[in-house]
Homo-oligomer: A and B are copies of this chain.
Amino acid sequence: MSQKIYMPHLSTAQHAKPVRTRKALRAALVDLLGDRGLEQLSIREITTRAGVGYTTFFRHYPAKEALLNDLAGDQVQQLVEMALPVVQSGDLRESMLALCRYVEGRRRLWRILLTGSAAAATRDEFLRVAEEIVRNQTWPEGWLPAEAGMILIVSGIVELVGWWLRQDDPLPVERMAEILDRSVVTPNVAAVLQQPG
């Protein structure tokens, strides 16, 4: 029962090629997701666009979905790493502003990540990260269960930012940050923390 296909290491940066290959695949996916959803894309198309052999794909990812997850996970990770310090400083409005600015700087990519079939993957990735953060602390028993609050915040951000990026004539970042802060983040954080009333 020998695994015949060679599997390049995901971590050891010994060789540069695997890294380049993966990068090319992710880039190709982003390119193609501009037009159609993930399920309309064939792996052949992705590899061709990436300038990589068809078989090679499977040496790096077991399926299309894994590639998308890799992509989404990467971006979400970066986003969170950028925003978390601001959040922890306590100024939620400022953190939303940072988030919006960051996303606007990668408009094209994030519109794809928050639209169509990719949106689900991105939201799941967000939830995963959020759960990790939430799980490490205990919470006062507000009238809103912590998990529900988390869901509302994550899905609210994802949906609203997606809506924002899909607009033809998008609102200014400051306006968007205000909306996110006032309608999604601050009230739900408060609801989780507040004493029931």
**A79 touches B (CB below 8 Å):** no
A45 to B183, CA, bound (A): 44
| A11 CB to nearest B CB, Å | 24
Contact A179 B44 (CB under 8 A): no
**A3 touches B (CB below 8 Å):** yes
Q: By the criterion of a CB under 8 Å from any partner CB, how many residues of chain A are at the interface?
A: 29
A3 to B163, CA, bound (A): 34
A144-B179, A147-B163, A178-B143 known; A184 vs B152 contact (CB < 8 Å) = yes
A152 to B153, CA, bound (A): 10
Q: Please, what's the 1-or-0 string for A31-48, where 1 marks a CB less than 8 Å from any CB in chain B?
A: 000000001001011000
Residues of B within 8 A of A178 (CB): 143
A39 to B3, CA, bound (A): 15
